[in-house]
Amino acid sequence: MTAKRLRVIALLAISMIFLLAWAFPIIWSVLNSLKTDSDVLAYPPKLFFSPTLEAYRDVLLGSGSILPNLLSSVIISVGTTVVTMLMAVPAAYALARLRFRGKKFAGFYVLATQMLPPVGIIIPYFLVLRNIGWIDTYQGIILIYLSFSLPFAIWLLVSYFEDIPFEMEEAAYLDGASRLKTLWRIIIPQVRGGIAVTVVFVFLNAWNEFLFAVVLSGNTVRPVTVAMFNFVSVEQTLWAKLAAVSVLAMLPVVVLGVVAQKHIVKGLTVGAVKGGGRR
């Protein structure tokens, strides 16, 4: 009994250490976002200070307000997620269930864009968008984001579809349901969890993306990840404001994470047991 309790305490202590290491940057950002610039630089670091919302007021309502950037991020992330899911669900189902020529290759080539280092494809993407006049537009950025979110989503969803026993579909067919109806009524409700996980991952990737956004965006479309960088100027780093923007940019991610936590954890482990590695 005591041995068991000791083990629990030891495990708890170890987890606390890790938790602290991971949570520290976040706690630090939150604290800094509530300080004045002079408190940020104070040594020893002040744990007790009179908190101020000045940094938040500045970044939200000041001259360099990031509200339009947050809106940009929302449009890009939601747009990417919706389009991705509309295409990924049927594609993943097809790869999991249908037999068609070139299926094996299709499964492989879906991943092709994931095999190139992103830096290597920025310039071609830039040129393509430039030629069709889509630089600095939402459709342009969403199109580029699809090139990596779609394969990822398909790949993730296939393993969920494969988990569903074929007999369930057969039963539906016997009752006279068409394939589409079966997909909609029988299959999709079964992979709700998988869809939720995929939505979360696709959204997070789009929300946090920086590399493509910085090159392909401009004044009209400028997500918060890019705008945030302007607080690190050549003259000085505006720590308090930078922290405030970070916290604001983190919020939707954290909220989404908490809401979808149950599904995320399952999503991370699903490939470990079966599915993902099968092909």
* Site residues for other proteins per CB under 8 A: 36-38, 41-43, 122-123, 126-127, 130, 135, 214-215, 218-219, 229-230, 232-237
Beta carbon nearer to other proteins, 233 or 269: 233
Measured from the CB of residue 237, what is the shortest distance to other proteins in angstroms?
A: 5
Measured from the CB of residue 133, what is the shortest distance to other proteins in angstroms?
A: 11
Beta carbon nearer to other proteins, 123 or 254: 123
67 to 30, 72, 93, 168: CA distances (angstroms): 19, 9, 39, 48
Measured from the CB of residue 251, what is the shortest distance to other proteins in angstroms?
A: 23
- The number of beta carbons lying within 10 Å of the beta carbon of residue 195 is 20
Residue closest to 152 by CA, chosen among 208, 193, 203, 102: 203
Measured from the CB of residue 135, what is the shortest distance to other proteins in angstroms?
A: 7
237/227 Cα distance (integer angstroms): 14
245/251 Cα distance (integer angstroms): 10
Paired tokens of 101: 């020529």
3-state secondary structure of 66: coil
Looking at the DSSP bridge assignments, the partners of residue 237 are: 232
Beta carbon nearer to other proteins, 173 or 229: 229
Measured from the CB of residue 213, what is the shortest distance to other proteins in angstroms?
A: 10
Determine phi and psi for 212, rounding to 5 degrees.
-70, -40
Paired tokens of 112: 């092709």
Measured from the CB of residue 114, what is the shortest distance to other proteins in angstroms?
A: 23
Measured from the CB of residue 232, what is the shortest distance to other proteins in angstroms?
A: 7
Beta carbon nearer to other proteins, 19 or 127: 127
Beta carbon nearer to other proteins, 236 or 269: 236
Beta carbon nearer to other proteins, 227 or 270: 227
12/64 Cα distance (integer angstroms): 44
| Helical spans, DSSP H, in the chain | 2-33, 37-41, 54-61, 67-97, 103-109, 118-131, 138-163, 166-174, 179-182, 188-190, 192-208, 211-216, 224-228, 239-259, 261-273
Beta carbon nearer to other proteins, 85 or 213: 213
57/62 Cα distance (integer angstroms): 7
